[in-house]
Structure 1
Amino acid sequence: MPAILALHERFGARGLRVIGVSNFDPDDAEAERKAAEDAAREEKMVYPTYLDTRGEWAKTAGVVDIPAFLVLGPDGRILHRRRGKLTLDAEAFAEMERAIERALPASPR
């Protein structure tokens, strides 16, 4: 989670919106909701997390592995996709930064 929080902090002023998505089984709604709330609190998530009923959004987006990270453009197209853990010191983090740089408008001078 530190890598996502770092991206949120670095690019938020330029328009990056971080949104968490968690699979949700409506047959166990109360427990699922509590687990998502607990995880958000423990991980100090400062961005919204949506509950994805039975993983329907994930299927539509082609997300098959968890965790997964997507960079979407202003039109909603997937511009970058990363599967697996994201850590600050990894090349995958640098790739994510570059993808976000390309997707966002230039910083104001």
Structure 2
Amino acid sequence: MHTLLSRLLLLAALLSGAVTSALAADTGDRAPDFRIQGPNFHGSAMLSELRGHVVYVDFWASWCGPCRQSFPWMNELHDRYSDDGLVIAAVNLDESTADAKRFLREVPVDFPVVFNPGGDLAEKYGVSAMPSSYLVGPDGRIVHRELGFRLGERERLERMIARQVRAAQ
């Protein structure tokens, strides 16, 4: 019951947009900084230390259906572009990391996952949908903000990411 209540509160906050609209990180803004670390990332680094790389920041939760669809696609992106400088960082917003880890056992990933149960990163970025993704260019500024995930948009997003990765080389 506690988890259901926390999901409903998070969803209500995301849908309201009232708080996040004033704080929303948008195209052209410097991406809010955070530490990226994990077993699939060599060591750890602050986002700001990844200048010269293209970073795809994806906010997700275990209860999000479209997130389950986006993870295999992000694995493909990681496989195709990580050697060329793309870093994918998936920021989990579950209140319980156990829920997130259960999701990751079902849908394993090859890119780093950052756990942010308090949701302060979601506030800094102004997350208003699940998932929400931010493409950060090599200069550390947000190039594109994507709300939600639709299978039919994968090619368009990949072209945009590939263009940024080529430009950064």
**Identity over aligned residues, as a percent?**
30
The 2-side partners of 1:18 and 1:7 are apart by 8
Q: Quote how far apart the aligned CAs of 1:76 are.
A: 2.2
> In the superposition, relative to structure 1, how do residues 85 and 49 fare at CA in structure 2: closer, same or farther (>3 Å)?
same
Aligned counterparts, 1:8-87, within 5 A? 8-25=78-95, 32-87=96-151
The residue aligned with 1:28 is none
Q: For 2:88, what is the secondary structure of its paired residue?
A: coil
Determine which structure has greater relative contact order: mean sequence separation of CA pairs < 8 Å that are 6+ residues apart, divided by chain length: 2
TM-score, length-normalised on structure 2? Answer: 0.52
**1:73-100 deviations in Å (ceiling 9; x for gaps):** 123211112121242xx1x212211221
The residue aligned with 2:17 is none
Q: For 1:63, what is the secondary structure of its paired residue?
A: coil
Q: Quote how far apart the aligned CAs of 1:107 are.
A: 9.3
> In the superposition, relative to structure 1, how do residues 76 and 106 fare at CA in structure 2: closer, same or farther (>3 Å)?
closer
Q: How many residues align?
A: 99
The residue aligned with 1:29 is none
Structure 1 unaligned residues grouped into runs of 5+: 26-31
Which segments of structure 1 move beyond 2 Å, counting only runs of 4 or more? Answer: 105-108
> In the superposition, relative to structure 1, how do residues 19 and 107 fare at CA in structure 2: closer, same or farther (>3 Å)?
closer
TM-score, length-normalised on structure 1? Answer: 0.77
Q: Quote how far apart the aligned CAs of 1:106 are.
A: 5.4
Q: Does 1:104 align with 2:168?
A: no
The 1-side partners of 2:149 and 2:160 are apart by 17
RMSD: 2.0
